[in-house]
Every structure is written in C-alpha cells, then in structure tokens.
Amino acid sequence: MQVRTLIPKYDGLLIDAYGVLVHDKGCYDGAQEIINFLTTTKIEYLIVTNDASRSIPSLYKRFQNLGLDIPEDRITSSGSMLTPVFKRRKLRNKNTIVLGTQDSIEMAKTAGAKIVSPESSLPLEVVVVGDEKEFPLLDFCELTLSKIIDAYDEGRNVELVVPNADVIYPKKNGFGFAAGAIANMIESGLQVARPKCNWRFISLGKPEPFLFENAVKLLKSKNLLMVGDQLLTDILGANNSGLQSLLVCSGIAKYDSEHAIQPTYVCDSFSPDQKVHVVA
Ligand SMILES: [Mg+2]
C-alpha cells in the first residue's frame, strides 16, 4: 500500500512538522507534493507541532517560504493550546510571567494573559515558560522562582505552564537546552525550597491530550491518522487518544518492532508514492 491509498481511509490527518515535512535547513523531498495532494483531493488535515517558540503567523510564513502552501487555520501548536487552556483553567487576566521569545509573549497575550515582568511587584498568578531565548535566562529564572515561593508562603496559588516540555533539541554541533529544561530547573528549586509544595508544570504539547482533543473537535471525527516521527510524542499521544498513527522514519525515530510504543503503520518518508507497512 502507498501513502496515497492509505490516507483516504481517514476523515483527516494530523501532521507533525519537524522530522516529517521540514528539518532545520528546509523541507523534505515529497513534502510539497503531499501538501498539494491533500489540497487537490480535499482531504482534511491539521499541522500539530510541539513548537511553541513561533506564533501561528510565524509558522505560516516559514511554511510558505519553504513552498508549503498550508493555510494558517490548519496550523496548531503547543503554544496555540494556551488559548483553550487559559479559558478552561480561568487564567485570563491573571498576572502572568512569560519566559520566552516575543512570539511566546504574543501567544500568551492572545490567550488572555496579563503580562507582568519578573521584576514587577504585582502578585504572581501564572508562569508560562515558552522558550529559552530572548531574555536574561538566569536572572529571570531566579526572580520567577523567588516570586513563586513568595506566593506559596503567602497562601496564594500559582499555575505553572510549559507549552512544549522538550528538555533538549538537536543542534549543529550537538544539543541545546529547551524550555522543558527551564521548567525543570524552576520546579527543582521549588521542591528543594518548599518540599511540601506540590505545584508542577503542566505541558500542552504531544503526547498530552490537548492538541489531539482540539483536532478531534476541529475535524469533527475520531477517525484520524496521526503522522509523526517521534514515538514518545506523536505515536504515544495518538495511541493514548485512541487515534491511529503512521510513524515516518525521516526524522528522529527508527522503527523498532520490540519497542513498547507501536504505531499502526510505518513508512520511510511522507510523500504520496511512499510504501506503507502495516504494523498492527
Ligand atoms: Mg517531529
């Protein structure tokens, strides 16, 4: 079976971006072809990426620059889950420190956050760790931790949110620390300083259910296929949400039949003519 014959069995596709359509230097062979195939055959799809460092308009522009004609309303990210989560947990208009890029701040603002600086004297209510760049890392982490501890000591609650909990990411000559590492650092500090405090960061990216639930709601079906390159995020998240999955081996994971997490299908790369192997 080829990808082009598998896809129409589903009401829609959830497609991971990095490792499936794009890599750090461009897009994979076949990526433009698959997007054009989905467009011309009118198959529903959503991009579901854990990237929280770029806003949806920035992701849209990046895809367009790479020749991937993906409409903005088909792009969802762990960062864009701030909006439903802020609504559901009643975090709108609360004093929120955002550690991250200008795009991270914009996404929190869109979700309804009232942004405060870590140097502000206003009582802290929410912390969002959006990214590791564009702020004085150690100074702001120390100020944020201190304000969380102050709130705990004063009997006030602080909600901790990390849209993308990835700890590291592959870099040109090795690895870089990502937002998850910053959340872990703040959480570790809090646990040492106040061992009885059970506040923990909630993550909004895959494999957590937020992006999957959002997709089921937007595409109005549970007969969806998740296409991704990572077992611990894409495939595990799909399995937990009761969706079928296609593991694409162009990115991080190589297929391992002994692994505890198994996809429904496997293929080498994501393009219409690629051969698909059935796992389960
Ligand atoms: Mg990926």
Please say which residue of 146, 178, 203 terminates a domain: 203
Give the DSSP H or E segment for 12. strand 12-15
Q: What is the pTM of this model?
A: 0.87
Beta strands in 229-279 (DSSP E): 244-248, 265-267, 276-278
Are residues 214 and 186 part of one domain? no
Residue 157's contacts (CB-CB under 8 Å, 6 or more residues apart) are 125, 151, 199
The token pair that represents 14 in the structure block: 């959830």
Q: Is 168 helix (H, G, I), strand (E, B) or coil?
A: strand
Q: How far is the CA of 87 from the centre of ligand 1 (A)?
A: 27
pLDDT of residue 252: 72
pLDDT attached to residue 91: 98
How many angstroms separate the alpha carbon of residue 168 from the centre of ligand 1? 13
Asked whether residue 11 falls in the same domain as residue 85, the answer is: no
Task: Tell whether 130 and 173 lie within a shared domain.
Answer: yes
Q: Which of 162, 183, 203 delimits the end of a domain?
A: 203
d(CA 275, CA 71) in angstroms, rounded, equals 27
Measured in angstroms, how far is the CA atom of residue 106 from the centroid of ligand 1? 24
Do both 122 and 220 map to the same domain?
no
Do 116 and 104 lie in a common domain? yes
Residue 50 predicted with pLDDT over 80: yes
Contact 77, 49 (CB under 8 A): yes
Which helix (H) or strand (E) segment is 169 a member of?
Answer: strand 168-171
CA of 23 to the centre of ligand 1 (A): 9
Tell me how far the alpha carbon of residue 39 lies from the centroid of ligand 1, in angstroms: 22
CATH of the domain at 123: 3.40.50.1000
Query: Are both 74 and 210 inside the same structural domain?
Result: yes
Going from the Cα of 83 to the center of ligand 1, the distance in angstroms, rounded, reads 22
The 10 Å Cβ neighbour count of residue 32 is: 16
Distance 135 CA to ligand 1 centre (A): 26
Mean model confidence pLDDT for the chain: 95
Q: What is the pLDDT of residues 93-119, one digit of tens each?
A: 999 999 999 999 999 999 999 999 999
pLDDT at residue 3 greater than cutoff 90: yes
Q: Cα(230) to centroid of ligand 1, in Å?
A: 6
The answer to whether residues 255 and 249 touch, using CB atoms and an 8 Å cutoff, is yes
- Residue 168 and residue 274 share a domain: no
CA of 204 relative to ligand 1 center, distance in Å: 15
Question: Which residue among 156, 184, 203 closes a domain?
Answer: 203
Q: Are residues 190 and 169 in the same domain?
A: yes
| Distance in Å, CA 169 to ligand 1 centroid | 11
Q: Rounded to the nearest whole angstrom, what is the distance from the C-alpha of residue 228 to the centroid of ligand 1? A: 6
- Helix, strand, coil percentages, rounded to 5, for the chain: 35, 20, 40
- The verdict on 96 and 35 lying in the same domain is no
What is the whole-number distance in angstroms between the Cα of residue 207 and the centre of ligand 1?
12
User: Which of 23-27, 72-76, 164-168 holds the top average pLDDT?
Assistant: 72-76
**63-91 pLDDT, tens per residue?**
999 999 999 999 999 999 999 999 999 99
Residue showing tokens 């854990």? 50
Cα(150) to ligand 1 centroid in Å equals 38
185 and 100 within one domain: yes
Q: Are residues 36 and 118 in the same domain?
A: no
3-state secondary structure of 141: helix
Q: Which helix (H) or strand (E) holds 95?
A: strand 95-99
Cα(21) to centroid(ligand 1), Å: 9
**Sequence letter at residue 198:** N
Residue 157's domain spans which residues? 81-203
Count of structural domains, the chain:
2
Ligand 1 center–CA 75 separation, angstroms: 14
Determine the distance separating the centroid of ligand 1 and the alpha carbon of 127, expressed in angstroms: 26
Confidence of residue 209 (pLDDT cuts 50, 70, 90): very high
Dig out the tokens for 110 from the structure. 């869109």
User: Is residue 169 very low, low, confident or very high in pLDDT (cuts 50, 70, 90)?
Assistant: confident
Nearest to 127 by CA among 166, 167, 84, 82: 82
Please, which residues have CB within 8 angstroms of residue 35's CB and are 6 or more apart in sequence? 21, 68, 69, 70
> Are 95 and 196 within one domain?
yes
Q: How far does residue 251's CA lie from ligand 1's centre (Å)? A: 7
Cβ atoms within 10 Å, residue 192:
8
Distance of CA 91 from the midpoint of ligand 1 (Å): 29
Q: Report yes or no: 134 and 102 within 8 Å, Cβ to Cβ.
A: yes
- The pLDDT, as a whole number, for residue 25 is 85
* 198 alpha carbon – ligand 1 mean position (Å): 31
Which sign does the torsion angle of CA 98, 80, 200, 207 carry? negative
- Residue with token string 């957590």: 208
